[in-house]
Each structure stands twice: as C-alpha cells, then as structure tokens.
Chain A
Amino acid sequence: MKSIRIGAGLGFYGDNWEPVLATLERSNVQFIASDHLAELTLAILQKDRQRDPALGYARDVVPMLLRLWPLMAERGVRFVCNAGGLNPHGAAQAVLAAFAAKGFTARVAVVTGDDVLPQLLDASKPASDLAHLFTGDPLAGVRERLVFANAYLGAQPIVHALDAGADIVITGRVADAALFLGPLVHSLGWKLTGATEPQDLDRLAQGLTVGHLLECSGQGSGGNFGSQGAWQAIPDLTHIGYPIAEVWEDGTALITKALGTGGRINFDTVRQQLLYEVHNPHAYHSPDVVLDMGHITLHDEGHDRVRLTGARGQAPSDQLKVVAGYRDGYKAEVTWGFSWPDAWDKAQAAQSAILTQLLEKRIPHDELYIEHPGLNSAHGALAPLPDAEALNQLNEVWTRMVLRTPVKAAADGFGRLFPWLALSGPAYTCGFHGLHNTSELLGIWPTLVPRAAVEAGVCVELLEGAAP
C-alpha cells in the first residue's frame, strides 16, 4: 500500500529549525509542513505591517529556508507553511529575493483569501451575524476597533498548489493541521471536497489527527511534557527530533522521529499532544472534517514508534472560524525586588505607596494587577505561600505590577511613579525595570462566517522561476 512521510517544521514564529535538518538527512520524508502562526501571532504581525506595509509575515521563514532549501531540493522534499501571515505575497517575495541572491530556484505558490477584515468592517452587514463564538456578544461593541480578521482556510488550496507543481507553498491563516492534511490529500489521492462517505471522512480524520500531532514541533515528541519525575527520562531535549508521520493510503499512520535525535515518541508524549487545545474531543472542528477522538487507538510499538488508528470523521459545517483582533486599551508593567531582611513587608509597603499615588494623582485605570514572580505568578491563588514569618525570611521578594488602562498617557506615565522609591522608599531594592514599556492590548474575537463567501475569494498563484 502506498504511503508518504511528512515531517514537522516549526511550531510557532521564532521556533528552532535545526531539528528539521536531522529529519531531512535521516528520515526520507517527502514533505515538511511548518506552522508559524499561533492564535496571537497575527497581532504581532499586524504591528509589523503598521510600521512597514511590506512586512506582516513571519520573517523567520527566510533564514529557515535559506538553511533548509538546499537539503530539500537535493532530496525533492516539498515545503508547506503559513508564514505568509497577513502578507503571503510579501513572504513569497522575500523568499524569492533571498533565493535569487543565493542562486536557488523553486516554484513558490501563494495562497490568499483568508483576510476577511473588509467583510467584518462592512457596517451594512448586521453585526449580529458575527457574534462572539463563546460569549454570544454582538460584534458592534468592538467593530470600530478591529485591526485584523482572518478565516481559517482548509487544505484545499494547499492541495491545489501542490497539484500545480509548487515546491514551496506559502499561505496566510489556514487551520494548522491543514498544512499537513494538504500534502496527504495531494499524495494519497484522498477525496476532500464534498466527502460524505464514512471511509473518506475517516481517512481525512486520520490526516487531521496527524497534522494536529505534528503542528507543535517538539511538543509532539517529548518537549513540554508536563509531569513530575517523568520528564527527566526523556533524553537530550537539546537535540530533540521533531515528530515525523508515515501515512498510508487507508489513513493508518505511524508517528516517529529521526534516529539518533533526542526526545521521546511514546503513548504518553503523543497523547499529551493529541488532546492539546482541542476542546470537545468528540467534535474537533476543522474546515475539512470534524474529528471524533473517542475511538482513536495509539499503539505504542516501543523505540519511538506509535501507530495511530481509529480517528472518525464527520462532514464539516458550512461555516468557517474567524479569529479577529481588536484594540483593547493599554498596559504598562513594572518589576522590582527587595532583599532580606523583611523583604515581604518591604514589598507590601512599596506596593501600598504606589496604590496611594494612583489614587492621589487620579490616574485613570481599569485594573492594577499584582503578582510576585518566584512565589505566585504561575499558579496565582493556587500557589501555597509560606506564613508571614517565613515570608519575611525569604532571600528576596519580587513584585510585578501591571496597569490596565484605556488611556495611553496613563500607561506611559505609570513607570514614573516608581524611581523615587530607590532613595526614599524601603531599603535594599534592586532590579527595577519598566520606566517606558507601554504596550497595546488586543482582544481576540472568535466568530463564524459563511464558508462560501470566503472560499469564493481564495486564490492560489504559482510564481515561476525564482533565479534571475
């Protein structure tokens, strides 16, 4: 039975691409798929694009491909990524310009059509259609503050680009797992559009599961393994091997990694990734298929090989998920520490002085958030604190204060409330930073839009002949 092998690229913008070298050199893959866009990444890219309209894409794709492309080209490996972000053409131009300078050639396909900001801004459309997916709130309250809105496209445009002969496919927002499902559908001849037979849908569900297991790079091969006393038994995370899948025509998949790399592929590491950020495991929605994990079997064959079977699929809905971002005020944060003796009481006294100043100076704010890094910033009120006496015997106590305000000037001035404490506050303070660090906050607006309206605007363009 025919099979193909696909390897994981990055799991986020800024991730490490060196593990992909081992995959390419030792694992005989035909595809690498690389996920550069977390839910919040478009917010970062939006700020880039505001500064320079030529930006707005995940810029790490350029050095990544300069390093990897010679190995890929030599082996005929094709590359699919969503590094286009808000500007897939900009990403493609940057890659092609860098390739031209090196004398590399590649056929690069660009997928666009995920940007739905114009539809959301169209005030003639009832805002009630675009209610918040979780709260049901109408869009009207935030519409004027929207800065980006992108639909999660499915695998079809990627299949189209690969069918047309693209070596490299650069998309904007697509469902993360679609980056992997696209090559599987292209290579294994699976029915995607209009699939209604259980056999077709179950194969797509297997492919979606493979994509989900590979889309977070090392998190699928023993990285970020949440446990006490077990993570230490995962070897050599410094040289971790990213997960690789061999997938057969019938949808059966083997999850593994390159020989000689660090990390671990086993029942435990694979299922931590399987359930990661899926919400209802019986209805994990994607634009291509709705996945039910309730009958999945992960057979641990040992030696970093896990066989995946049993994913079941149902036809997707006629709506696509959109994630939009809207401006939601500002924050300014300050961090500083006090040392023994009485470090806890001194931190509380300084905190109290800042609170008094906020009131006396009538600085407008919605919230002042206070946490103590090293004591409770990760688990908040669930972190048990020592008693008062023990707190004052601590070597040092750090305080992080964060102001949330709708007024930019209030955020800009927050840091100036602190420097006087160095000479006129409690003793033995150090490490102050945060004089100027206002940043804009973004609210995320998940919603649904009709599939047909988006898909009509999806465009796949093949850019031929990179070298000059």
Chain B
Amino acid sequence: MSTVLEMKDTVRVPLVRIAHARSGDKADWVDFGLFAWNAAGYALLAREVTAERVRAHFMPWLGSDMTGEVDAWLLPNLLAIKLVLRDALQGGGARNLRLDNLGKSMAGALLRMEIEVAPAELDEVLATPRVGWWGEVAP
C-alpha cells in the first residue's frame, strides 16, 4: 500500500518540459548538452539525470551488442549537464546506415526521457523565470 501512496507523491515528467538540448557526433560517440531553463530546473536535472539512467534510456536504441557507456559532467555554472554516449553511431558517421547518421536528432530522443519529481518541484520550475533574454516575445 505504501508504494501506491509514494507513487502518488511524484509525477513522471519528460525532460522536454523542463530542459533544452543539442546533440552532435565525434567518431562513434554521440555528444549531448542538456540545459535547464533556470536554477530550480537544474537542481532536478542534477539529481535525476544520472549516467546510469541515461544509459538505460538509450539501451533499446543501442541494441544489446553495444556497451553504450555514458559519461556525465555537471556544470552548475551553465545550469547544464554534458553527456557522452559511446558506441552509438554504428562505428561513426561515414559508415552509419541510419538516415540520421550523425546523431543530430538524438537530443530529441534524450528529451523524451522521463524523470520523477514532486508536483511542487515541477510547479516551482515552471513558475521560475528563464535566465536567458528572450525579448518581448518570451516563450
């Protein structure tokens, strides 16, 4: 019973709701920058987006014969996490058979990843202004 109650204490949130991201390639590695919009969002990313969880998220994509090691670096000065997913491009862009041979759309796949947060935490992140200047038409 306690499990049910605990589940009600958190909500599953895809990263796309609280973060933005870009990906690129170097040889056989996909390289991501994952960015919170504000400090409250960064606190959640830093707590929830671990190397192990990112690796688990990408395992169906990688296939079982690949190790898919993940490196993660926290950058509080940039409210960002740097992630590197190894063995992810079939040996590298020039031999990769995928349409997205360079992994440029992989950041979108990262933003599908879900994390568990308390509703109050999510409310705070969404209510906190963004750090960057977005002009008179701020999203």
Contacts and interface: CB of A to CB of B under 8 A. Distances in A.
Interface of A: 39-40, 43, 133-134, 219, 224-230, 232-233, 235, 264, 266-269, 271-282, 293-298, 300-303, 310, 325, 328-329, 331, 333, 367, 369, 371, 373, 377-383, 400, 402, 404, 441-444, 446
Contact of B99 (A229, A298, A371): A371
Contacts of A277: 24-26, 31
Interface residues of B, number: 56
**A219, A227, A233, A371 — most chain B CB neighbours (10 Å):** A227
A255 to B, nearest CB: 12
Contacts of B37: 268
B55 interface: no
Contacts of A379: 61, 105-106, 108-109, 112
Contacts of A325: 94
Nearest to A134: B27
Contacts of A272: 20-22, 33, 35
A110 B17 CA distance: 49
A280 to B, nearest CB: 7
Given A134-B86, A266-B132, A266-B133, A382 B112 contact: yes
Q: Kindly list the 4 A-B residue pairs having the minimum CB-CB distance in the complex, ordered from nearest.
A: A275-B33, A267-B132, A227-B20, A381-B60
Interface stretch (B5-13, B45-53, B76-84): B76-84
Contacts, number: 176
A369 B98 contact: yes
A276 B25 CA distance: 9
Contacts of A134: 27-29, 86
Contacts of B93: 39-40, 444
A329 B92 CA distance: 13
A43 B94 contact: yes
Contacts of B26: 39, 277, 279, 446
Contacts of A380: 60-61, 98, 109
A369 to B, nearest CB: 4
Contacts of B108: 226, 378-379
A373 B99 contact: yes
Given A266-B133, A300-B132, 8 more contacts: A225-B22, A226-B108, A227-B20, A279-B31, A379-B106, A380-B109, A382-B58, A443-B91
Given A232-B139, A444-B93, A271 B80 contact: yes
